[in-house]
Structure 1
């Protein structure tokens, strides 16, 4: 027999029929159904027991003679009783399988006489002789009792989930991947990329496993909540702090990139309409800024100072970041960044364009590797790539939220693995192809590959404009999340749960501080490769190497399944993260 509450809901979801012409039809026929009690009558039933005694049930029995032996009296009785809303107040009918009569229950509903119209209910049962069972009719009820349906959870299929992870993980590391491979060596760079991707995938799986065991269904549990439940408040604070560091690092890198793209785009327009054409510059498509810097340092020469008013006003490391900050300040003070979420699809377009850009350039250059055996050797600066990759594959602080919306939860592991595979392929495609085909010395590769191209290169111009517009829409979203995290943590630390409320004064003050920090880095440390590897190594130590493994050990200990071997394995991964961070301080860019 089905669960009673489910059957009650089935009763109430039927269709009402009040016409007299339908009373003669069998209840379970295609043209008739029963009416149900009103909202008041159902909740006032216990208060109206005396009225029920005045209107008892009258029963008649009508069971078809054919195939009568295939029916079980007990099944008829139970199937009928499962439909009764007020079981204790009704008289259970006695079904005689050998009496060819129609069973009709007339219930004169006199509940709640003062406020509700009295309806007469008829319930009849017709046997299903073909199957040898009795089916229950559908009942309708539209006044709100038990017809409430929990809103369907907004979920996505596996394909959407996979590309959501892919699109979210892709970031500014794409522009610096070739630079990282150049610091590690071609083949060691491939191996390091795959190993870090596998390690990040493993720790993401650990977080999902811990959440399945200790997360609360129906609640938006994040990594910080798991840390508080399993490790204590200190772990929650640590997780929140380094989540803020990741967002702040992203804002700084995006400010540097936007300043670069804006500077070169405006400079291109200025050269087209104002400057005289320079045939020598137009013939140079690939640049090596590193050699120019080394030449100036070795010969003690100074770069030519700007000679025009435009060059003085439009300087990459002074005026451009400040002008950009003034523009961004206006869009950062919105109460909600909903408008900017409409441009999320630009991320996918930008990544695809960048892949096409690299493929076209590589096709024109051809393979430019003179000594393949030398590319097998690992370079002493390989840790720069591992530090950068710790941020490149960083999605740990939101992976639980993304996978929670996956429609098929049993496929979480598979979908996450496929997504990480796509991310790894994208990084390797751009990094290896650009590195192997770059026509100049590999040491010339910049941490922003667009710096290796002239400002007049057509494909580069389009890429810079597209990425600048994309980052201009992403920057407010990152800043909004950063603002919410900062206010929430202040509320948590000082127990002042009104501080996080939106006021323009607080928001403007925070945005001023944020933009000042970003401008300082854009002016004095505009090296996105260095920023990415330090941010990745630091935040990766906490979110990639530490918290997932410590949470897993705490979960195993709680279940009394933590063994020495398992503990040593998780501590080994934590040790790798520590070495990854310490090694960053011994690398000179």
Structure 2
């Protein structure tokens, strides 16, 4: 019989592992009651993708979460990607890769729900065992670290141009003689100046801190979209675009600031098809990448029966946004008086440091990337430490060492190889190959394999003569199901072939 004075057990630090386990599961429960005592530590935290801490969200909120998760840093690389592929080829790729990645994301969400798993890492563990689970974890962390490399390049580019603009306005002279040289102060050195700030931002313990830091992210996204589309609309108004080459004399512009000059030649050449189209395919795979967190986003949808519809609408919204950014942005940076030879991999670099509008957008981009960067690496910390230690914060020492390693790696890349378009393309191609093309197809093949396949053997030594037509038809069912499954497996395997082609094409440059 229970004693009236009996109180619930409340573990303390003295209870060691029990304390930490109960504290950990309790933290999971506060985020989403449905996940209590089930979600592994390395799963993506649903609070990162929701507008509030409510356990369920409306369909429009789910669609918006999907869109917001996909729309990110690649927006400023889109005009460059379109230039590499040509306008028509770019439109084809945006639609084609959007459809493929939507379907593979649908497969991932479908089998995560079917197997009652909230993390694709665990789902792969059911299919390929412990080693497959570990490889998937490594790949998941790799794509996130790869994303932060691109973020660091954007942070540094914005920071360096902000310094140049301020220096010009304050002192009237340039603070640097070049942008990427080693024998003078340049953008090669500013990543190391920023490294201390990044390390500081990576060492917060509570996830709520990162959520607060990123709370204004949607404002930054909309500001960047409006800016890029406005640049394109301006070019469409003042320029005439043609597919025929016309020589342009620089002397005809007769003004120093191209952006504010309306006297430049209004005939601008655009390209419809180019052989380097594959560069955009890697960027798009990265842009549509949602696969390692789709299960937890969709699980929080209030109407589960509408998951497929909402996922499709989320991808339609993202594809529409990228189509607008890519196409209209391409027109914007080919026209408007910008140099028409090449669009920069970071389109914002096309503006001079003293351009007032670009200066404001650089501050917005710098702030946005400075909040997204630590949040993405918090995901890495949660996945890695959660898998091996059962908590996302094993100790200050562990977190500090990881912060040093991650920030050093991204800082070196930002200094030595500040090519954000190529970085996004390679990361998207390699990591997208695994998560967006291989894993979903393998999951589909694995979980649709006919049950009769394991029991059916064409070399069975026992023969049974069918007495009726119905028994005869039933005897052929395993073979027919197996044949259908094989055809389906071959058709789906073509998606993997496409993924490998995207990777191989990244190494080709005509």
Which range, TM-score by smaller chain? Answer: 0.7 to 0.9
SS at 2:241's partner residue?
coil
The answer to whether residue 109 in structure 2 is matched with residue 208 in structure 1 is yes
Pick one of 366, 380, 385 that aligns with 1:468: 366
User: Could you tell me whether the CA contact under 8 Å between 2:84 and 2:279 is conserved in 1?
Assistant: yes
Shift in CA distance, 572/276, structure 1 to aligned 2, threshold 3 Å: closer
The answer to whether residue 279 in structure 2 is matched with residue 384 in structure 1 is yes
How far does residue 351 in structure 1 lie from its aligned partner after superposition? 2.2
Distance between the aligned counterparts of 2:59 and 2:229, measured in 1? Answer: 29
How far does residue 559 in structure 1 lie from its aligned partner after superposition? 4.6
Cross-structure match for 1:193: 94
How far does residue 226 in structure 1 lie from its aligned partner after superposition? 1.0
How far does residue 212 in structure 1 lie from its aligned partner after superposition? 2.8
Cross-structure match for 1:515: 407
SS at 2:204's partner residue?
coil
Where relative contact order (Cα < 8 A, 6+ residues apart) is larger, the structure is 2
User: Could you tell me whether the CA contact under 8 Å between 1:362 and 1:433 is conserved in 2?
Assistant: yes
SS at 1:155's partner residue?
coil
CA offsets, 1:121-156, max 9 Å, x none?
xxxxxxxxxxxxxxxxxxxxxxxxxxxxx9687100
How far does residue 276 in structure 1 lie from its aligned partner after superposition? 5.2
Shift in CA distance, 349/314, structure 1 to aligned 2, threshold 3 Å: farther
How far does residue 399 in structure 1 lie from its aligned partner after superposition? 0.4
Judging by fraction of residues, say which structure has more helix: 2
Distance between the aligned counterparts of 1:157 and 1:252, measured in 2? Answer: 34
How far does residue 487 in structure 1 lie from its aligned partner after superposition? 2.4
Cross-structure match for 2:212: 342
Normalising by structure 2, we get a TM-score of: 0.74
Matches within 5 A, 1:275-354: 275=172, 314-318=185-189, 320-354=190-224
How far does residue 454 in structure 1 lie from its aligned partner after superposition? 1.0
Number of residues paired by the alignment?
A: 403
CA offsets, 1:408-460, max 9 Å, x none?
00111111111111111111111101212422465421111111011111221
Cross-structure match for 2:444: 552
Pick one of 160, 181, 194 that aligns with 1:263: 160
Pick one of 61, 82, 91 that aligns with 1:181: 82
Cross-structure match for 1:451: 349
Cross-structure match for 1:360: 230
CA offsets, 1:467-492, max 9 Å, x none?
11111111111111112222244x2x
Pick one of 339, 364, 380 that aligns with 1:482: 380
Cross-structure match for 1:245: 142
User: Could you tell me whether the CA contact under 8 Å between 1:161 and 1:402 is conserved in 2?
Assistant: yes
SS at 2:57's partner residue?
coil
Shift in CA distance, 250/181, structure 1 to aligned 2, threshold 3 Å: same
Shift in CA distance, 352/233, structure 1 to aligned 2, threshold 3 Å: same
Matches within 5 A, 1:141-180: 154-180=55-81
CA offsets, 1:194-239, max 9 Å, x none?
10000000001111221232225xxxx2111111112322321221
Question: Which consecutive residues of structure 2, in runs of 5 or more, have no partner in the other structure?
Answer: 3-31, 35-53, 246-268, 453-480
Pick one of 98, 119, 125 that aligns with 1:228: 125
CA offsets, 1:39-95, max 9 Å, x none?
x9xx9xxxxxxxxxxxxxxxxxxxxxxxxxxxxxxxxxxxxxxxxxxxxxxxxxxxx
Cross-structure match for 1:434: 329
The answer to whether residue 264 in structure 2 is matched with residue 394 in structure 1 is no
SS at 1:456's partner residue?
coil
User: Could you tell me whether the CA contact under 8 Å between 1:203 and 1:549 is conserved in 2?
Assistant: yes
Question: Which consecutive residues of structure 1, in runs of 5 or more, have no partner in the other structure?
Answer: 1-39, 44-149, 278-302, 492-496
Shift in CA distance, 353/545, structure 1 to aligned 2, threshold 3 Å: same
The answer to whether residue 261 in structure 2 is matched with residue 369 in structure 1 is no
SS at 1:444's partner residue?
coil
Distance between the aligned counterparts of 2:229 and 2:501, measured in 1? Answer: 35
Distance between the aligned counterparts of 1:511 and 1:392, measured in 2? Answer: 25
Distance between the aligned counterparts of 1:166 and 1:468, measured in 2? Answer: 21
CA offsets, 1:331-354, max 9 Å, x none?
211212422312434322122212
Distance between the aligned counterparts of 1:158 and 1:264, measured in 2? Answer: 41
The answer to whether residue 447 in structure 2 is matched with residue 576 in structure 1 is no
How far does residue 304 in structure 1 lie from its aligned partner after superposition? 5.3
Cross-structure match for 1:6: none
Shift in CA distance, 585/256, structure 1 to aligned 2, threshold 3 Å: same
Pick one of 524, 530, 542 that aligns with 2:434: 542
Distance between the aligned counterparts of 2:397 and 2:184, measured in 1? Answer: 31
Cross-structure match for 1:9: none
How far does residue 312 in structure 1 lie from its aligned partner after superposition? 7.9
Cross-structure match for 2:21: none
SS at 1:231's partner residue?
helix
User: Could you tell me whether the CA contact under 8 Å between 2:381 and 2:392 is conserved in 1?
Assistant: no
Distance between the aligned counterparts of 1:335 and 1:222, measured in 2? Answer: 23
Shift in CA distance, 305/571, structure 1 to aligned 2, threshold 3 Å: closer
* RMSD (Å) for aligned C-alpha atoms: 2.8
SS at 1:431's partner residue?
helix
Distance between the aligned counterparts of 1:151 and 1:323, measured in 2? Answer: 43
User: Could you tell me whether the CA contact under 8 Å between 2:282 and 2:503 is conserved in 1?
Assistant: yes
